[in-house]
Structure 1
């Protein structure tokens, strides 16, 4: 028993010596140079909890603002287990973007790639990125916008407005998000939720709700619901892809048809798994940013009566000058909406649709007297 007591005392003493050293190493990582100021937060968690605190304003998040006030526009932190250098310095941010592909490359956390798939839309590079670019241009290039997309968007918007007119009030966020998802899903795989029992939007919403939640895979948690939504949504897309491959004579002129054409080429890099990754990731890039922009545009116009009056005059002028009052919007009318485009551009500028971008350094570099570590 006395021996066990000595062992216990030895272990406690060792812990008392090692834990403070570990904490110091955590908070002040060793570096052959000067790291940016900042805090690494708690062990393992870092500053994830503070970063995840919700906020309502559309400007700089309180998390970033507080640390900018304390450390300046360039500081270090640790989020979701990863060390970061956060830059709100225009000169540094410009340098990072200028050195894209040289000193820095596009990067997303491993958990992000695991959820979206290793060959997802946002992380694609090289030949896959080139293929994806051709795919997007085939569906959303200027020629497709002029001949096909513009009229499809107008039809969808008119149907939604007619539906909303029967309600005393409308949840704008839900309505616009639903409208944009319906359009994106139709462009991707001719999906129409009213004609199928598959709930693609419901599953995708569950996936997005838990996308940046704490990765705790326990039934009932947001992350668990995220994984389940992802699994069901991918199953729906995979089944549709296999159905198309089994019936090649039927054409739908959507993104899935383009992907199938690429899969059939002799020198293709697209496999079934890569195709599903791409199809699954497309709504995130197309739907989330567009719906957020539209919601913010309505909010900003409501707060600025003069801008609302001007955009109303522009649209009413187009309607008055139409030769056929019941005709749909033309490409010339769309191109003539100069003030409308100003509203869209200003909304994107003010709204921070993508409040941050992630880049990873390819080697240790020094910027403004501080070291960024690979």
Structure 2
């Protein structure tokens, strides 16, 4: 097929050269063959809207086999019609708005300030890599808490080895070495998660983490999950919560650095917020984020609109 052309590298914020060339030649909708699969690629906003609108009716998630090997078949593909709504419902308490209001925004603000201040004092650094590490360090205890320090350290190391970098240039030798490392790290991370699930189940301890939520789901008669798919979901959440955030943040920093007026307005808005605080050393609050960061939210939304965390969304 056209797999080799598809994986030719493109600029960080560019449309894939493979897609761009075929859009010029065939228009916004065209057929191809990638990774041994017949694929129709749509770059038409109206068509894409209809595809998402008919999710799990006329269209359903499906991925090349290599993705199943990395992330687990049970997580990426289930026959349940309302899977996404179901997952959203059970993860909202920890990852949703209420969790963000209660603790996440303040903790992440302090962690980011401390970490980036330290890194900046050492010179230049990779924003994407550092954000990835920060999110991973914060989210892992939210997913599985109460691990022994050495076990948590091992889990963090394994999860940190897992990324989509291998997917960007799949025909180089280093990529296949990276993929082997990813698969090895995935196996070790899943084993830690399985052991944690087993021990939590045996001890009947109650922790305010996602693992506890999944245990409660497994006990329900009408649960969509079995033990394997529950573990795969925890693993997948550990990946998606950081991969999208780190890529989007890096893109936002790049665009802001090239637009001095945007940077100046961001500084002005945040300076005004700090000046209006009673405690000048306090971190960002939910109220400030919601009511005093009008321009900041515009920048965030535009960054989300422009960012593309994966080359393709498969259906």
Normalising by structure 2, we get a TM-score of: 0.87
Preserved contact between residue 210 and residue 225 of structure 1 (Cα < 8 Å): no
User: Are 2:181 and 1:225 equivalent residues in the alignment?
Assistant: yes
2:273 corresponds in structure 1 to 318
How far residue 292 of structure 1 moved from its aligned partner, in angstroms, is: 0.9
RMSD over aligned CA atoms reads 2.9
- Seen in structure 2, the aligned counterparts of structure 1 residues 301 and 194 have a Cα distance that, compared at 3 Å, is farther
2:115 corresponds in structure 1 to 160
- Seen in structure 2, the aligned counterparts of structure 1 residues 144 and 204 have a Cα distance that, compared at 3 Å, is closer
Report the Cα distance in structure 2 between the residues aligned to 1:345 and 1:193, rounded to whole angstroms.
38
User: Are 2:314 and 1:358 equivalent residues in the alignment?
Assistant: yes
- Seen in structure 2, the aligned counterparts of structure 1 residues 122 and 163 have a Cα distance that, compared at 3 Å, is farther
User: Are 2:33 and 1:78 equivalent residues in the alignment?
Assistant: yes
Specify which of 189, 213, 217 is matched with residue 262 of structure 1.
217
Residue ranges of structure 1 left out of the alignment (5+ in a row): 1-45, 360-374
1:21 corresponds in structure 2 to none
How far residue 265 of structure 1 moved from its aligned partner, in angstroms, is: 3.4
Greater relative contact order (Cα < 8 A, sep 6+): 2
1:41 corresponds in structure 2 to none
Preserved contact between residue 245 and residue 260 of structure 1 (Cα < 8 Å): yes
Report the Cα distance in structure 2 between the residues aligned to 1:280 and 1:254, rounded to whole angstroms.
14
Preserved contact between residue 131 and residue 245 of structure 2 (Cα < 8 Å): no
1:128-277 counterparts in 2 under 5 A?
Answer: 128-190=83-145, 196=151, 198-208=153-163, 209-210=165-166, 221-251=177-207, 253-277=208-232
How far residue 188 of structure 1 moved from its aligned partner, in angstroms, is: 1.2
Specify which of 296, 304, 309 is matched with residue 348 of structure 1.
304
| Bigger helix share | 2
Secondary structure of the 2:32 match is strand
How far residue 357 of structure 1 moved from its aligned partner, in angstroms, is: 1.8
How far residue 180 of structure 1 moved from its aligned partner, in angstroms, is: 1.6
Normalising by structure 1, we get a TM-score of: 0.75
User: Which 10-residue stretch deviates more, 201-210 or 65-74?
Assistant: 201-210
Max Rg structure: 1
Secondary structure of the 2:212 match is helix
Residue ranges of structure 2 left out of the alignment (5+ in a row): none
- Seen in structure 2, the aligned counterparts of structure 1 residues 286 and 191 have a Cα distance that, compared at 3 Å, is farther
Preserved contact between residue 142 and residue 209 of structure 2 (Cα < 8 Å): yes
How far residue 215 of structure 1 moved from its aligned partner, in angstroms, is: 10
Specify which of 75, 86, 92 is matched with residue 47 of structure 2.
92
User: Are 2:289 and 1:330 equivalent residues in the alignment?
Assistant: no
Report the Cα distance in structure 2 between the residues aligned to 1:299 and 1:191, rounded to whole angstroms.
37
Preserved contact between residue 7 and residue 170 of structure 2 (Cα < 8 Å): no
Number of residue pairs aligned between Structure 1 and Structure 2: 313
